[in-house]
């Protein structure tokens, strides 16, 4: 038989709320361990070894939890059976217990306890089943609450930073929220706080939770999960840790061109069954490009400049402002009128003297010419050049593409790709017949 860890719940408050089963389990197990002494009922576990030192030495909470599990597995292996006391109930928001139950080094026996949830429902006067309340972790609010509209009970709101992160994760002003603190203790507090003051007026501790009657986190669940993954990679992957905005530029460019290549490979008929694989490939390449965007946003957040939510909010507000024909009653019935409005709004926003200001000098030449022509056309001037030479001829060809609503960069790339494919077929045929490629070229 494997050694056993008896997990005992200490309940939500002081020793008076300990169950008889918990008291008996602790009394009958000589080797006792505490996740933390920062709990009102910790005094009931006399002589226990706490894991507070792991909290102080580890770099992340996941490292704390893994360290605790390793220590418990080692102790159980030495003593046969050990007791492990945790705040609240062993099955409510207790990550170490989750890890222990999947660890094949030990068997786990649970001693249930009163949870802080039981006290919270009483303090709020809420039936969680009837109201459909969801419980989320304050430290993972952006991920666990993404896409939820509430009501939400947010646990483990133990620092002002956690409260600030929760507030910043919600992309709309909310009304008052309920703050629950130290439930079950003489100094218990249930107060209503304005949303804007959540991280200013509340002095949080490890027994603080908040109740949101409704919420609207701005990022979809999968995007939030992906953003969390990128943060994890930054913490744990040696390559990702070393990257900067500048070192990522080459990868951003490569992924952008791979998206363009995937788009060019799409079938002309979007409904064609044969296009399934091509669209799957485009989906994959867009994911790679999204990784670059989220990576840069993660770096920005680490530097304290901006977050992914800031990036999304910024482009959202910019697009609303630049589409007055959609959101502000401005008349624009044709694409050309939309472009004209867009350029004028952009010019006013940036305070630019010329409509040509802001065109990036680093753009590929075809794209640069195309953008110059579009800017001129938006001002009512059809671009022509009196110059001679191959550059002028190319400029004229770009103008023909623009008038035909064809992207010259994509058109040239597609033609080059078709030529490449024909060349490879002829190359293979020439090799098979021992001829030169010119002798088998189809013309």
Given a contact cutoff of 8 angstroms between Cβ atoms, the answer to whether 106 and 23 are in contact is no
Q: Which of 31-35, 299-303, 329-333, 369-373 has the least mean pLDDT?
A: 369-373
pLDDT of residue 270: 56
Residues 79 and 125 in one domain: no
Binned at pLDDT 50, 70 and 90, residue 373 comes out as confident
> Is residue 106 predicted with pLDDT exceeding 80?
yes
Neighbours of 411 (CB within 10 A): 16
> Is residue 349 predicted with pLDDT exceeding 90?
no
* 4-9 sheet: strands from edge to edge: 49-50, 32-34, 81-86, 4-9, 107-111
Nearest to 211 by CA among 331, 304, 125: 125
Q: How far is CA 428 from CA 415, 418, 431, 440, 442, in A?
A: 20, 16, 5, 10, 13
Angle 13-15-21 (CA atoms, 0-180°, nearest 5)?
A: 110
pLDDT digits (tens, 9 = 90+) for 307-338: 888 888 889 888 888 888 888 778 888 887 88
User: If DSSP codes are grouped into helix, strand and coil, which group holds residue 384?
Assistant: coil
Binned at pLDDT 50, 70 and 90, residue 214 comes out as confident
CA distance linking residue 411 with residue 416, whole number of Å: 9
Residues 110 and 124 in one domain: no
Q: Give φ, ψ of 406 to 5 degrees.
A: -115, 135
Given a contact cutoff of 8 angstroms between Cβ atoms, the answer to whether 89 and 9 are in contact is yes
> Is residue 358 predicted with pLDDT exceeding 70?
no
Given a contact cutoff of 8 angstroms between Cβ atoms, the answer to whether 13 and 119 are in contact is yes
* Enclosing domain of residue 124: 119-212
Residues 173 and 198 in one domain: yes
Q: How far is CA 315 from CA 48, 142, 172, in A?
A: 54, 20, 16
**Tell me, what CATH number does 272's domain have?**
1.10.287.1080
Half-sphere exposure of residue 374: CA atoms within 13 angstroms, side-chain side? 22
For the segment 22-50, the average pLDDT, to the nearest whole number, is 90
Residues 155 and 257 in one domain: no
Return the structure tokens found at 139: 């430290």
For the segment 294-317, the average pLDDT, to the nearest whole number, is 90
Residues 108 and 123 in one domain: no
- Tell me whether residue 356 is in a domain: no
Number of domains observed in the structure of the chain? 4
- Tell me whether residue 351 is in a domain: no
Q: Which of 209-218, 332-341, 427-436 has the least mean pLDDT?
A: 209-218
**Which of 286, 321, 356 marks a domain boundary?**
321
DSSP assignments along 280-345, one per residue: HHHHHHHHHHHHHHHHHHHHHHHTTS--HHHHHHHHHHHHHHT-HHHHS-----SHHHHHHHHHHH
Residues 137 and 107 in one domain: no
**Which of 321, 354, 387 marks a domain boundary?**
321
Give the single-character DSSP code of 44: G
- Tell me whether residue 168 is in a domain: yes
For the segment 7-32, the average pLDDT, to the nearest whole number, is 90
- Tell me whether residue 383 is in a domain: no
For the segment 47-51, the average pLDDT, to the nearest whole number, is 90
- Tell me whether residue 85 is in a domain: yes
CA distance linking residue 335 with residue 238, whole number of Å: 48
Residues 156 and 61 in one domain: no
CA distance linking residue 72 with residue 40, whole number of Å: 22
Q: Name the β-bridge partners of 194.
A: 176
For the segment 166-175, the average pLDDT, to the nearest whole number, is 74
- Tell me whether residue 343 is in a domain: no
Q: Enumerate long-range contacts of 307-316, CB under 8 Å, 24 or more apart.
A: 307/168, 308/219, 308/223, 308/227, 309/168, 309/169, 309/171, 309/218, 309/219, 312/218, 312/219, 313/171, 313/218
For the segment 55-61, the average pLDDT, to the nearest whole number, is 83
Decide: pTM greater than 0.75: no
pLDDT of residue 410: 78
pLDDT of residue 384: 64
Residues 20 and 79 in one domain: yes
> Is residue 355 predicted with pLDDT exceeding 70?
no
Residues 235 and 257 in one domain: yes
Q: Which of 192-201, 346-355, 400-409 has the least mean pLDDT?
A: 346-355
Q: Name the β-bridge partners of 33.
A: 49, 84
Per-chain mean pLDDT for the chain: 84
Given a contact cutoff of 8 angstroms between Cβ atoms, the answer to whether 337 and 374 are in contact is no
- Tell me whether residue 158 is in a domain: yes
- Tell me whether residue 360 is in a domain: no
Residues 110 and 12 in one domain: yes
CA distance linking residue 227 with residue 233, whole number of Å: 10
**Which of 68, 98, 114 marks a domain boundary?**
114
Given a contact cutoff of 8 angstroms between Cβ atoms, the answer to whether 117 and 154 are in contact is no
Given a contact cutoff of 8 angstroms between Cβ atoms, the answer to whether 82 and 5 are in contact is yes
Top pLDDT among 32 and 382 is at 32
Residues 143 and 180 in one domain: yes
User: If DSSP codes are grouped into helix, strand and coil, which group holds residue 106?
Assistant: coil
Residues 206 and 227 in one domain: no
User: If DSSP codes are grouped into helix, strand and coil, which group holds residue 23?
Assistant: helix
Return the structure tokens found at 414: 């597609």
For residues 49, 53, 58, 64, the Cα torsion angle rounded to the nearest 10 degrees is 30
Return the structure tokens found at 77: 């292996």
The alpha carbon of residue 61 and the mean position of all alpha carbons in its chain are separated, in whole angstroms, by 19
pLDDT of residue 5: 93
Binned at pLDDT 50, 70 and 90, residue 220 comes out as low
pLDDT of residue 439: 77
> Is residue 149 predicted with pLDDT exceeding 70?
yes
The two beta strands, 176-181 and 134-137, are: unpaired
* 152-155 sheet: strands from edge to edge: 134-137, 152-155, 208-212, 176-181, 189-194
């Amino acid at each position: 038989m494997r050694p056993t860890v008896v997990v005992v719940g200490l309940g939500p408050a002081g020793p008076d709320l300990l169950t008889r089963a918990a008291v008996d389990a602790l009394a009958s197990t000589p080797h006792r361990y505490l996740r933390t002494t920062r709990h009102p009922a910790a005094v009931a576990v006399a002589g226990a070894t706490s894991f507070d030192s792991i909290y102080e030495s580890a770099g992340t909470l996941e490292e704390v939890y893994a360290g605790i599990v390793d220590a418990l597995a080692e102790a159980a292996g030495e003593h046969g059976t050990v007791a492990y006391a945790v705040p609240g109930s062993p099955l409510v928001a207790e990550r170490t217990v989750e890890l222990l139950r999947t660890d094949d080094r030990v068997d786990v026996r649970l001693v249930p306890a009163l949870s802080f949830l039981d006290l919270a429902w009483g303090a709020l006067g809420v039936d969680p089943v009837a109201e459909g309340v969801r419980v989320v972790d304050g430290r993972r609010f952006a991920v666990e609450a993404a896409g939820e509209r509430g009501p939400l009970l947010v646990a483990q709101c133990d620092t002002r930073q956690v409260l600030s992160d929760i507030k910043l994760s919600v992309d709309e002003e909310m009304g008052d929220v309920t703050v629950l603190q130290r439930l079950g203790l003489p100094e218990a507090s249930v107060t209503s706080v304005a949303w804007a003051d959540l991280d200013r007026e509340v002095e949080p501790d490890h027994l603080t939770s908040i109740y949101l009657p409704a919420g609207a986190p701005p990022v979809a669940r999968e995007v939030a999960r992906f953003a969390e993954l990128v943060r994890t990679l930054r913490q744990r992957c040696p390559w990702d840790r070393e990257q900067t905005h500048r070192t990522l530029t080459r990868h951003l460019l490569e992924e952008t061109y791979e998206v363009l290549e995937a788009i060019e490979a799409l079938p002309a008929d979007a409904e064609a069954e044969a296009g399934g694989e091509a669209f799957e490939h485009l989906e994959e390449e867009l994911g790679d490009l999204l990784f670059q965007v989220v990576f840069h946003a993660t770096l920005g957040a680490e530097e304290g400049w901006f977050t992914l939510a800031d990036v999304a909010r910024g482009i959202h507000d910019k697009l609303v402002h630049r589409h007055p024909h959609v959101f502000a009653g401005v008349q624009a019935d044709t694409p050309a009128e939309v472009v004209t409005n867009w350029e004028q709004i952009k010019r006013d926003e940036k305070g630019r003297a010329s409509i040509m200001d802001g065109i990036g000098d680093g753009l590929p030449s075809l794209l640069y010419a195309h953008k110059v022509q579009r800017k001129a056309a938006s001002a009512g001037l059809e671009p022509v050049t009196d110059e001679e030479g191959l550059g002028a001829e190319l400029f004229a060809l770009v103008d023909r593409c623009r008038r035909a609503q064809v992207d010259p960069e994509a058109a040239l790339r597609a033609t080059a790709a078709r030529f490449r494919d024909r060349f490879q077929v002829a190359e293979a045929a020439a090799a098979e017949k021992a001829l030169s490629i010119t002798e088998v070229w189809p013309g």
